[in-house]
Amino acid sequence: MGAKNLGRADEPAGGGSAVGAGVSGLLPTSSAAAAAKLGLRLLWRQRWLLLATVTLLLLGTAAMLLVPPLLGAVVDAVIAGEPFTRVLWLGVAIAGAGVTAAALEGIGGVLLVRCLQHALAALREDVFDAALNLPLRRVEAAGDADVISRVTNDVEAVTEAIAGVIPLCARAVFTIVLTLVGMAALDPWLALAALVAVPIQIASTRAFMRRSRPLYARLRREEAERGRAFVEAVAGAETVRAYGTAEEHLTAIARASDTAVRTHRETGKARNIFIGGLNGAEFVGLAAVLAVGFVRATAAGLSVGAVTAGALYFHRLFNPIGDLLGSMDDLQRALAGLQRLTGVVIAGAEARADTFAGAGSSEIADGAVEVLGVSFRYGAQTRRAALQGVDLSIPAGATVALIGTSGSGKSTLARLIAGFDEPAAGGVRIGGVPAHVARSGGRPAALLVAQETHLFAGTVGDNVRIAAPGASDRELAAALAEVGFDLAAVPGGLDGTLPPAVSHREAQQLALARVLLADPPVVVLDEAGSQAGSDAALATAMRRVSAGRTAVVIAHHLDQVRGADRVVVLEQGCVIEQGEPGELLERPDGAFARLWRMAQWAEE
Ligand SMILES: Nc1ncnc2c1ncn2[C@@H]1O[C@H](COP(=O)(O)OP(=O)(O)OP(=O)(O)O)[C@@H](O)[C@H]1O
């Protein structure tokens, strides 16, 4: 969904609960108002169902409110010594009101849960969609754990709180309002006496809200930090073990955990104080109703039955008020989660808007790649730029081999050409369009094949069909054959499930088959060929994928350089040499000739 009018993702949250963007690089958190707006917008999508639900709940509550005056009438009938049949009929009326109220509230409750489930499903989809729209660098800077904790923990927290709390609150609000109306109809003085409890309730609630809102926001942040510390340690388990840094990681996790537990305790304390305040308010209120009832019964002739009904009404308020105010706790938690989710939704929409703003038409003219004065740095704190002042021109259909020592900037340049990142200075264009928005036939103009190929749980067919959802089985099989994937070896062929341990070669072949099916004008092969020197099948597959399109290959083997139209040598983020391979080899002191000699020596 669009996030226009929801405000900026990193604007301060209402009531001082802001967790602005950039806290430890985490994703932004929206203001409370923006989160509430998003919640209402989600509910508005099913306004008619909501209207029917509210009507049923209101009628159910009204039916239930008939019970206290009917009980009061029973008291009066007994005191006046009226016939038993009257008392019996009053009993039947009480039972009827109870059954009607239960039926209406039951149906209303089911409808309300359905409404909320629809809204939550839409929220989950919006957050997921927005997370996919975030620039890769932003997600990397926040860390996987932050994104995962939002689309799982926060969605879960919001779901749990809202699914349980909103129906409770809706019933509570209806009951409170209608009960007060019932009391006023009975005797306005009784209703006024009941209001004595209100200032105490308001003061307790305000104090709790002031205290708990920042606490919950802090808690969710600290839980995300704890998740991050944990995921980092688990993801890097090999390195942790190799360098014996388990203690440090355990200490970091324990510290993050301690911090979260301390905040948990603080929220518990705030809740206890709050509940104490509510109990006090109820005590004062009931005492006031009984005292005023006594005065009205003795001085103004109010019947004992009416005073009984008034006291019962007030007693009936205890539960809904307790439910409502007690739910503030869950609502706070849900709001903190919703603010984090809204932050992602807004950031996703902003990223989408920024990406296409001013890009004009994103359709490329051809597959020519222009890199002009490009500089790039990973994060502001990084000492050295990964690329500086890089110029490169690749005609459409040409194959360029990038070579250089480790850390010279090859992968960074590859990511910029594939549109994953935007340069800090200069520009990367494909067919005249900035690479990060460049499209060909509405699809990304460049595709990158990296060493890590993401394979989804599912069939071989599913895994390649993602590149061309409309492709026939025959086309899928042809693409796989083209890159040398042995489909006959998979039981079930295209419908066969991918084995859990797919070899590196098979994974690369699937990635290359995806490129053939997507058919982009530009392909970037980063690390795809790191084993191609020792794997002739993979080298052939790469050549086939590069044929007929502009190809940027990070070369690890002489074979890859031999097939290239042009070689670009990078050193410390700068292009130090470029030209045709044969021409560069003729410069005995050139960087390429030196690397070539070293590679030949290594391959011998
Ligand atoms: N995610 C990152 N965060 C911070 N610095 C990075 C990151 N990725 C790369 N760098 C740094 O940027 C510079 C260029 O790295 P890059 O990966 O582009 O080099 P490369 O030539 O591809 O190296 P290799 O052949 O080892 O993959 C290096 O100094 C590297 O340490």
Residue 5, pLDDT score: 41
We report the CATH number of the domain holding residue 488 as: 3.40.50.300
Domain boundary among 349, 378, 411: 349
- Average of per-residue pLDDT across 481-493: 85
User: Are residues 539 and 560 in contact, defined by beta-carbon separation less than 8 angstroms?
Assistant: yes
User: Are residues 400 and 551 in contact, defined by beta-carbon separation less than 8 angstroms?
Assistant: yes
Calculate the CA 379 to chain-centre distance: 23
Mapping DSSP to helix (H, G, I), strand (E, B) and coil, where does residue 208 land? Answer: helix
Whether ligand 1 lies within 6 angstroms of the CB of 408 is answered as: yes
Q: In what order do the strands lie in the sheet with 574-579?
A: 446-449, 522-525, 550-554, 399-404, 566-571, 574-579
Residue 162, pLDDT score: 73
d(CA 166, CA 371): 55
Are 308 and 400 members of one domain? no
Residue 430, pLDDT score: 94
Mapping DSSP to helix (H, G, I), strand (E, B) and coil, where does residue 301 land? Answer: coil
d(CA 28, CA 113): 30
Query: Which pTM value belongs to this model?
Result: 0.60
Q: Is residue 361 part of a domain?
A: no
Q: Is residue 20 part of a domain?
A: yes
Residue 22, pLDDT score: 41
From residue 332, how far is each of 2, 157, 220, 292, 476 by CA, in Å?
25, 11, 11, 36, 51
Residue 121, pLDDT score: 85
d(CA 413, CA 395): 17
Checking if the pLDDT of 294 tops 50, the result is yes
Residue 566, pLDDT score: 92
What secondary structure, in 3-state letters, does 341-408 show? HHHHHHHHHHHHHHHHCCCCCCECCCCCEEEEEEEECCCCCCCCCCEEEEEEEECCCCEEEEEECCCC
User: Which residue reads 């490169």 in tokens?
Assistant: 392
**What backbone phi and psi angles, to 5 degrees, belong to 17?**
-95, 20
**How many C-alpha atoms does 134 have within 13 Å on its Cβ side?**
25
Are 139 and 259 members of one domain? yes
10 Å CB burial of residue 374 (0-12, 13-18, 19+) is buried
Beta strands in 483-587 (DSSP E): 522-525, 550-554, 566-571, 574-579
Q: How far is the CA of 108 from the centre of ligand 1 (A)?
A: 58
Residue of 403, 410, 571 to test ligand 1 pocket, by largest number of atoms within 8 Å of CB = 410
d(CA 479, CA 517): 7
Whether ligand 1 lies within 6 angstroms of the CB of 430 is answered as: no
Q: Is residue 335 part of a domain?
A: yes
d(CA 169, CA 159): 15
Beta bridge partners of 390: 374
pLDDT digits (tens, 9 = 90+) for 296-309: 888 888 888 888 88
Domain boundary among 319, 349, 379: 349
- Average of per-residue pLDDT across 184-197: 87
Are 525 and 405 members of one domain? yes
Q: Is residue 598 part of a domain?
A: yes
Residue 11, pLDDT score: 34
User: Are residues 522 and 369 in contact, defined by beta-carbon separation less than 8 angstroms?
Assistant: yes
d(CA 475, CA 464): 10
Are 478 and 594 members of one domain? yes
Give the containing element (helix H, strand E) for 428. strand 425-430
**Token code pair at residue 141:** 């800077």
d(CA 388, CA 384): 9
Are 442 and 590 members of one domain? yes
Q: How far is the CA of 373 from the centre of ligand 1 (A)?
A: 19
Residue 444, pLDDT score: 84
Checking if the pLDDT of 167 tops 90, the result is no
Calculate the CA 264 to chain-centre distance: 23
Range of the domain at 315: 14-349
Residue 223, pLDDT score: 87
With vertex at residue 515, the alpha carbon angle to CA 510 and CA 519, rounded to the nearest 5 degrees, is 150
Q: Is residue 248 part of a domain?
A: yes
| Residue 56: count of CB within 10 angstroms of its CB | 20
Q: How far is the CA of 387 from the centre of ligand 1 (A)?
A: 10
Residue 530, pLDDT score: 55
Q: How far is the CA of 376 from the centre of ligand 1 (A)?
A: 11
Q: Is residue 364 part of a domain?
A: no
We report the CATH number of the domain holding residue 231 as: 1.20.1560.10
% of residues, the chain, pLDDT over 90: 20
Residue type, 481: A
Checking if the pLDDT of 4 tops 70, the result is no
Residue of 377, 378, 384, 595 to test ligand 1 pocket, by largest number of atoms within 8 Å of CB = 378
Name which residue leads in pLDDT, 100 or 54.
Answer: 100
| Residue 69: count of CB within 10 angstroms of its CB | 20
pLDDT-derived band at 6, boundaries 50, 70, 90: very low
Give the containing element (helix H, strand E) for 252. helix 246-299
Q: How far is the CA of 407 from the centre of ligand 1 (A)?
A: 5
- DSSP secondary-structure letter at 12? P
- Average of per-residue pLDDT across 229-258: 85
d(CA 42, CA 166): 14
Beta bridge partners of 372: 427
Checking if the pLDDT of 230 tops 70, the result is yes
Q: How far is the CA of 411 from the centre of ligand 1 (A)?
A: 7
Are 385 and 341 members of one domain? no
Residue 261, pLDDT score: 93
Mapping DSSP to helix (H, G, I), strand (E, B) and coil, where does residue 546 land? Answer: helix
Domain boundary among 349, 382, 406: 349
Whether ligand 1 lies within 6 angstroms of the CB of 388 is answered as: no
Q: For ligand 1, what atom is nearest to the CA of residue 412?
A: 18
pLDDT-derived band at 377, boundaries 50, 70, 90: confident
Mapping DSSP to helix (H, G, I), strand (E, B) and coil, where does residue 187 land? Answer: coil
Residue 254, pLDDT score: 92
**What is the DSSP annotation of 481-509?**
HHTT--GGGSTTGGGSBPPSS--HHHHHH
- Average of per-residue pLDDT across 138-152: 75
Residue 531, pLDDT score: 53
Which string of b and e fits 90-105 if b means at least 16 CB within 10 Å?
A: beeebeebeebbeebb
Are 298 and 379 members of one domain? no
Q: Is residue 355 part of a domain?
A: no
Whether ligand 1 lies within 6 angstroms of the CB of 550 is answered as: no
Most confident of 123-137, 392-406, 440-454: 392-406
Lowest mean pLDDT among 15-29, 40-54, 147-161, 457-471: 15-29
Residue 354, pLDDT score: 63
**Token code pair at residue 325:** 């105010």
Q: Is residue 134 part of a domain?
A: yes
Q: How far is the CA of 248 from the centre of ligand 1 (A)?
A: 26
Are 309 and 379 members of one domain? no
Whether ligand 1 lies within 6 angstroms of the CB of 285 is answered as: no
Checking if the pLDDT of 138 tops 80, the result is no
Number of domains in the chain: 2
Whether ligand 1 lies within 6 angstroms of the CB of 378 is answered as: yes
Residue 41, pLDDT score: 87
Are 373 and 500 members of one domain? yes
Are 412 and 339 members of one domain? no
Are 517 and 386 members of one domain? yes
**Does ipTM come in above 0.95?**
yes
pLDDT digits (tens, 9 = 90+) for 193-202: 888 988 998 8
pLDDT-derived band at 600, boundaries 50, 70, 90: low
**What backbone phi and psi angles, to 5 degrees, belong to 459?**
-85, 170
Residue 199, pLDDT score: 92
Whether ligand 1 lies within 6 angstroms of the CB of 409 is answered as: yes
d(CA 358, CA 38): 27
Are 409 and 313 members of one domain? no
Whether ligand 1 lies within 6 angstroms of the CB of 572 is answered as: no
